[in-house]
Amino acid sequence: MVADREGGARRTPGRAVTYAVCGAVLLGGCASMPDSGDLRNVESTPRQDTGVRVFAVPPAEGASPSEIMQGFLEALTSDDPHYDTARKYLTAQAARAWQPERSATVLADGPGIMAETPPAGREPNTGRMYALAGDRVATVDDQQAYAPAHGDYRARVHLIQDPKSGQWRIDALPDGVVMGKSDFQRNYTSVDKYYFANHTRAGTTGDPVAVADPVFMRSKVDPMTQLVSSLLRGPTTWLGPVVRSSFPTGTALKDGTTGLTPDDENSLTVPLNAKAAHVGPARCTEMATQLLFTLRNLAPTLESVDLRGPGGDQLCDLTESRADSVAWHASAQSPDYLYYLDGKHRLTRLPASGTGTGGTPVPGAFGEGTKQLGAVAVSRDERTAAGVSADGRSLYVTPLAASVPLEPPVLTSQGPGADTRLSRPGWDARGDLWVADLNPARPQLYVVPQGTGKPVAVTLPELPGPIRDVRVAADGARVALVVAVKGDKQSLLIGRIEGGDSVSAESDAQSGNGDTPAEPPAVVDPRPAAPDMEQVTALSWAGDSRLVVVGREQGGVHQMRYVQVDGSALEGPAPAALSRVKAIAAAEDDRVPLVAYSEDGIVRLPSGAQWQKVDKDGTAPVYPG
């Protein structure tokens, strides 16, 4: 081979060498993996779902009553869209009357079946009575709102033998479905519907503020269509009073619409009925925004929605990039800086997305360290900061601008101890400052319009105990309260904030006149968000309907975890464990690292990494809000 080539080279050296070099280059190019070039986009492929599916089977011929019961309960865990197979276990009459969508009851270990002796007066042969029993964990109502529950569950099911065919069938049963907790987690998924807050508008732009309304959908039964219908039906009862929907009342999907899926360009076409045919373009854009925010929970790659009228004509369309300019959306806001108090009690800031550890003091009074501060909060536009003095007695508000002197405190507390005075303040999207006076004698929640107005006392509902901490959601419509129950125990409650006349007054009083609102806002209907938590030591909003909480479960240890505002358990991993967390800060945008104040000082948790130390001597880390 070599000799041949050399011989050839001797004859026509130039050409042979050229050929050899070309061949070698070609071979070399083909025979090794490429290490550069071929730049292109990666098509998003849907994640493979490995979830278990139960395939319901109709009752077997001549099945015994207990087999009928088991088969029926198993059919309830299947993906059957309208429980058609489950209905085959019922008598015709019961099948017509049974309404499985009315509710879903979640039992800890699934329903147990116990035979009961039929009540006296019935013929023994005409029927059998069974009781379904179990430990209730939660219920999902007909609006698909989740509510934690506890206690025993007991329901009666009656079977009769069909006189003609001789088959056993269920003829009396409670509405709704019942299933075990893991089946529920397999079959249902939590999705946030988005509505607009009634009274809150984003302070800087005046855009409506989106409020998340978590519901549970059957994840394997055309979830997108279900979700759109649910969104159109309106908010859940609990949230309803404080939010509005842009969809005109009665708007629904066009009759017979099923199987909504995004097309190849990640655009979803939603056909609506005649009620929505005459909305104006601005209203329509708001409607599309609601849809887009909501559907991106299910399909994160969705890029646009296209609303169609009953005749198929386009009402409006909206792309994802435009949606953020239509409405203010907490999880779309990315804070610029992380703020904390350094060892010299100066308010220091650090770029939120960076990896650096050297903070710089903010301009303004707080950055000079003249005032000893215990807790701080920075407004969402990052122009104003509020600070509570180290003794918790006074609340100061100052702009983050150089050479502005510190003004007198906006609010003072008369509490007896440092931890029974003012709580950590918080800003909402509108720019109002919320702070609680933890004085056990007169606990009170105040709102300071625009941080500078006259504090307004917020009406509080009957609470099981004194407030220990308070965090207002970015939308200004919900508030998370930590309430001491008895002794050492605390529980986390979520209440909605009603009484929004202050908004209009505030909007009118933009000039800073500070009119007193006609009706003070009120926290209404607090409900438990983490019923299994015994102790809550720190918390922060970490999403539209999610909080990150440091606490202790019953019989458990201190740990950090996420909780859903409706009290349901969240799928997905908890943050990496960290001991002795005293304060925690998270942003609604989940790309921003979690920051905690622990015995190691201020540490942060970038996604996909371990905790990193930021400042050993720092305290009170906060993101804007």
Partner 1 sequence: MPRDSAASAPGRPGAGPGRASGRGAGNPRRGRFFTAALLSGGVQGSPVVRLFIRWVRRPLLPVMRLWRRNIQLRVVATTLLMSLGVVLLLGFVVIGQVRNGLLEAKVKASQSQATGGFAVARQSADETAAATHGSTGGNGTDGQQSQNVIQWMSDLVESLSSGGSGAFDVVTLPVGDDSGGGRSPRGSGYVSPAESVPASLRDRVNSSSSTAAAQSYTRIVYSNRKDSQPALVIGKQVNDPNGHPYELYYLFPLTQEEKSLSLVKGTLATAGLFVVVLLGAIAWLVVRQVVTPVRMAAGIAERLSAGRLQERMKVTGEDDIARLGEAFNKMAQNLQLKIQQLEDLSRMQRRFVSDVSHELRTPLTTVRMAADVIHEAREDFDPMTARSAELLADQLDRFESLLADLLEISRFDAGAAALEAEPIDLREVVRRVVGGAEPLAERKGSRIRVVGDLQPVVAEADARRVERVLRNLVVNAVEHGDGKDVVVKLASAGGAVAVAVRDYGVGLKPGEATRVFSRFWRADPARARTTGGTGLGLSIALEDARLHGGWLQAWGEPGGGSQFRLTLPRTADEPLRGSPIPLEPKDSRRNRGLDDGGTPRGGAEKLATVPVQQTGGNASALPPRQGAATPVADPTALPGNGNGNRVVPRPANRGRRPDDRTGAQVPDPRAGGGPEPAGQDSTEAGEAFRGR
493 vs 436: CA distance, rounded Å: 15
- Contact string 378-417 vs partner 1 (x = CB under 8 A): ----------------------------------------
Q: What angle do CA 285, 46, 610 make, to 5 degrees?
A: 95
Touching partner 1, residues 519-548 (CB under 8 A):
none
- Contact string 341-360 vs partner 1 (x = CB under 8 A): --------------------
Touching partner 1, residues 68-127 (CB under 8 A):
68-75, 77-78, 109-115
State whether residue 22 is helix, strand or coil.
helix
First-to-final CA distance of the chain: 77
Distance in Å, CB of 151 to partner 1, minimum: 18
Question: Which residue, 59 or 521, is less far from partner 1 as judged by CB?
Answer: 59
Question: Which residue, 113 or 463, is less far from partner 1 as judged by CB?
Answer: 113
Q: What angle do CA 620, 404, 391 make, to 5 degrees?
A: 35
Which two three-digit tokens encode residue 273? Answer: 């009925």
Residue 357 phi, psi (nearest 5): -120, -10
Distance in Å, CB of 73 to partner 1, minimum: 6
Name residue 521's amino acid: P
Give the β-pairing of 601-605 and 304-308: unpaired
Question: Which residue, 114 or 274, is less far from partner 1 as judged by CB?
Answer: 114
Residue 550 phi, psi (nearest 5): -105, 125
Give the β-pairing of 546-553 and 558-564: antiparallel
Question: Which residue, 60 or 577, is less far from partner 1 as judged by CB?
Answer: 60
Element (H, E) at 614: strand 612-615
Binding range to partner 1, per CB under 8 A, among 181-189, 263-271, 394-402, 445-453: 181-189
Q: Which residue has the tokens 């349901």?
A: 568
Contact of 607 with 542, CB cutoff 8 Å: no
* 182 interacts with partner 1 by CB under 8 A: yes
* 154 interacts with partner 1 by CB under 8 A: no
Which two three-digit tokens encode residue 588? Answer: 């609604």
Nearest to 68 by CA among 182, 166, 181, 185: 166
Distance in Å, CB of 70 to partner 1, minimum: 4
Distance in Å, CB of 56 to partner 1, minimum: 6
Distance in Å, CB of 266 to partner 1, minimum: 19
Touching partner 1, residues 38-77 (CB under 8 A):
48-60, 63, 66-75, 77
Distance in Å, CB of 228 to partner 1, minimum: 20
Q: Is the dihedral of CA 17, 18, 19, 21 positive or negative?
A: positive
Distance in Å, CB of 93 to partner 1, minimum: 22
Pick the binder of partner 1 from 179, 209, 215, 492 (CB under 8 A): 179
* 189 interacts with partner 1 by CB under 8 A: no
Residue 363 phi, psi (nearest 5): -70, 155
Distance in Å, CB of 506 to partner 1, minimum: 51
Kindly list the residues in this chain that would bind partner 1 in the complex (CB under 8 A). 48-60, 63, 66-75, 77-78, 109-115, 130, 134, 179-183, 186
